[in-house]
A and B are shown apart, each in its own frame.
Chain A
Amino acid sequence: MGVVILLVMAAGVAAMLTRRLPTAFALVVLAVVIALVAGAPLTGKDSVLDTVLQDGAPALAATMIAILLGSWLGKLLDETGIAGTLVRKIVEFGGDRPVVVALGVLAVSTLVGTVTGSAPAAMLAGIIGIPAMIAVGIPKVTAAGTILMGIAAGMPFELPVWQFFSTALELPVPTVRGFMIKLFPFALAAAVLFVLIESRRRGVEHTWSAKSLAPKPRPGRRARLGDAPWYALLTPVVPLVLALGLDVAIVPSLLAGVLCCLVTTTRPREMNKRLLRTLYGGFEVAAAPITLFIAIGILLAAVKLPGAIDALEPLVKAVSPQNAVLFVLVFTVLVPLCLYRGPLNVFGLGAGIAGVLIAAGIYPATAVLGLATSYNQVFGVADPTSTQTVWSAQYAGVTPQQVMVRTLPYVWAVALGGFCVTAATYL
């Protein structure tokens, strides 16, 4: 039975890899098939319809709300010009030294990465940041990689991600936060080293391009209004300070960020319009990740069914290293399996595998948290199929594969650091 479930999972990965099915749809199909193979009844307790679909779909509701609020705040940062102003100031102050500009854009990307994730985060920092870096001579692959490494450095403090791991792995938020604080130095060091080493290795690049005079699209609302005031530039750190420093819960922290952004940039009579406009825009941005989280909730419910646990436990136990050194070695070698929507992608089948590891009692939930968040650092930067990587690469005029090759060594090292901390702390 366990082998059949693993074969079903492999088929699901193949369907995602070959893009026969969108990831979210593939995960739902996978969940239903796993439940049926595990012998779950159609209705009633531990059933396909009531447990997997009905209870599973809203299981990550708190994450969905956090994603929506993060997207809303991201939209506000965009419309009020806060992100753009930060990048413009960095170029004005540090434009003489391309590496300073890249480090500044990295810092902005890190801030943005604490608020929201995926392609919207890349766009928020990259729409001005990538061409600004290229304009001062940063090579295109390095420019795209800087945005992604910056977002990944902010990811350990991305509040919706805390909520996701807390709900999916059934861990209290402070536990998730505790590990993220340990993971952050690795992510930040890798990001800074990426900029310094790649700038040193590749130098600067200037082109005489026929496209240099091409008119850009009409400036947005913020561009016509000018820069955001300096005190508004502190907005991205507000949720972080509240959640990390003052222990405020995730949803109110994000709402405080929205409020701060609004009152520091918007005239009272325009507030209602702006709030509604950006909220609806936030729904559009959040639609894709929310769909994915519905599917992940369904998959988690399926792999936690008693029949699935009984079937998978002996198999997974047999191949899961218990020795700390082996744990680090094996999971470091397996890092590429989280790329290309592979089986260790935590926003795909990896969530199901994490669920199995916990439900079967193979590793403590905290160790699985360490594995999942470490893989997330790799996937968030180097996966050529993830939306932020595709967007950043294409916007810079290079391929996602070029970005993957350049960034993978750095994020692989971050994952190694995460595994070491996990093995030392939780095994």
Chain B
Amino acid sequence: MTAPPDLAATDDIEFGVRLLAATPTHEGRDRDLLRHWATVATEFGARLGPVPSRARVVERDGGLAHGLLARYTSRPATVELYTDTLARAEALVDERGWRHWYPAGSVRAAALAHEAVHELLHHGPAKAELKHALGHVVLRAGRRRLYGHVAGAEEIAAHAHARTVCGLGRSPLLLTAALATADTHPVTAPHGREK
């Protein structure tokens, strides 16, 4: 089965623009500005080296019902992987003929890499670096500039990092968009348990 042209033909940056446009606080913003931010956030995420994670990994189902693939919580530091949605995503990769972009098992790896970036940005100085790179000035006083937070940029950076470290041909955002439009019937999970 081939991918619908409107999804696979859309570039990864455009998916970033769509993510920002769907994020509250960006309603009505100029698309060129959103594209600039999406590009910067993507480059920032791709530049990040390997991100170590100290979070406990928990596998569970119930993600399909809420459209969730993974979740990071800081207290306690935990990454929850929703195995039913990950299995559906893997099946979708086959259905769409995207296996050359997303090797077997890469969705789980991408989820872990994605959430590791959220952990990094939550604890370290990287968040300030991302904000500086985005360059969204909200206040000026002479030469001094106060940079504002761009909601959604961290998510784009996390996806870009996952794409880079997992060696994916396309951003996980393409898969996210495909999942949102796909039939989300439960499928047989990789470990054979019917979800």
Which residues of A line the B interface, CB within 8 A?
84, 87-89, 91-96, 128, 131-132, 135-137, 139, 200-216, 219-220, 223-226, 397
Whether B19 and A92, one on each chain, are in contact in the complex, defined by CB atoms closer than 8 angstroms, is no
Q: Which residues of B contact A202 (CB under 8 A)?
A: 73, 75
Q: State whether A92 and B75 are in contact (beta carbons under 8 Å apart), knowing that A211-B180, A212-B19, A214-B180 are contacts in the complex.
A: no
Whether A132 and B67, one on each chain, are in contact in the complex, defined by CB atoms closer than 8 angstroms, is no
Which stretch, B42-50, B95-103, B145-153, touches the partner chain A?
Answer: B145-153
Tally chain B residues at the interface, Cβ within 8 Å. 47
Roughly how many angstroms separate A96 CA and B126 CA in the complex, as a whole number?
11
Whether A204 and B74, one on each chain, are in contact in the complex, defined by CB atoms closer than 8 angstroms, is yes
Roughly how many angstroms separate A216 CA and B19 CA in the complex, as a whole number?
10
Q: State whether A216 and B27 are in contact (beta carbons under 8 Å apart), knowing that A207-B70, A207-B71 are contacts in the complex.
A: yes
Closest-by-CB residue of A relative to B70 is A208
Contact partner of A210 among B22, B128, B176, CB < 8 A? B176
Q: Which residues of A contact B184 (CB under 8 A)?
A: 210
**Interface check B35, CB cutoff 8 A:** no
Whether A208 and B151, one on each chain, are in contact in the complex, defined by CB atoms closer than 8 angstroms, is no
**Interface check B68, CB cutoff 8 A:** yes
Whether A135 and B177, one on each chain, are in contact in the complex, defined by CB atoms closer than 8 angstroms, is no
Whether A131 and B149, one on each chain, are in contact in the complex, defined by CB atoms closer than 8 angstroms, is no
Contact with A along B23-35 (1 / 0, CB 8 A): 1110110000000
**Interface check B87, CB cutoff 8 A:** no
Whether B75 and A96, one on each chain, are in contact in the complex, defined by CB atoms closer than 8 angstroms, is no
Whether B71 and A213, one on each chain, are in contact in the complex, defined by CB atoms closer than 8 angstroms, is no
Closest-by-CB residue of A relative to B149 is A95
Closest-by-CB residue of A relative to B184 is A210
A265 to chain B, nearest CB (A): 15
Give residues of chain B (147-162) contacting chain A, Cβ–Cβ below 8 Å: 148-152, 154-155, 158
**Interface check B122, CB cutoff 8 A:** yes
Roughly how many angstroms separate A213 CA and B38 CA in the complex, as a whole number?
13
Closest-by-CB residue of A relative to B138 is A92
Whether B149 and A92, one on each chain, are in contact in the complex, defined by CB atoms closer than 8 angstroms, is yes
Whether B151 and A213, one on each chain, are in contact in the complex, defined by CB atoms closer than 8 angstroms, is no
Q: State whether A205 and B71 are in contact (beta carbons under 8 Å apart), knowing that A91-B151, A95-B148, A213-B180 are contacts in the complex.
A: yes
Q: Which residues of B contact A225 (CB under 8 A)?
A: 28
Roughly how many angstroms separate A226 CA and B69 CA in the complex, as a whole number?
34
Closest-by-CB residue of A relative to B148 is A92
B52 to chain A, nearest CB (A): 17
Whether A213 and B177, one on each chain, are in contact in the complex, defined by CB atoms closer than 8 angstroms, is yes
Closest-by-CB residue of A relative to B119 is A206
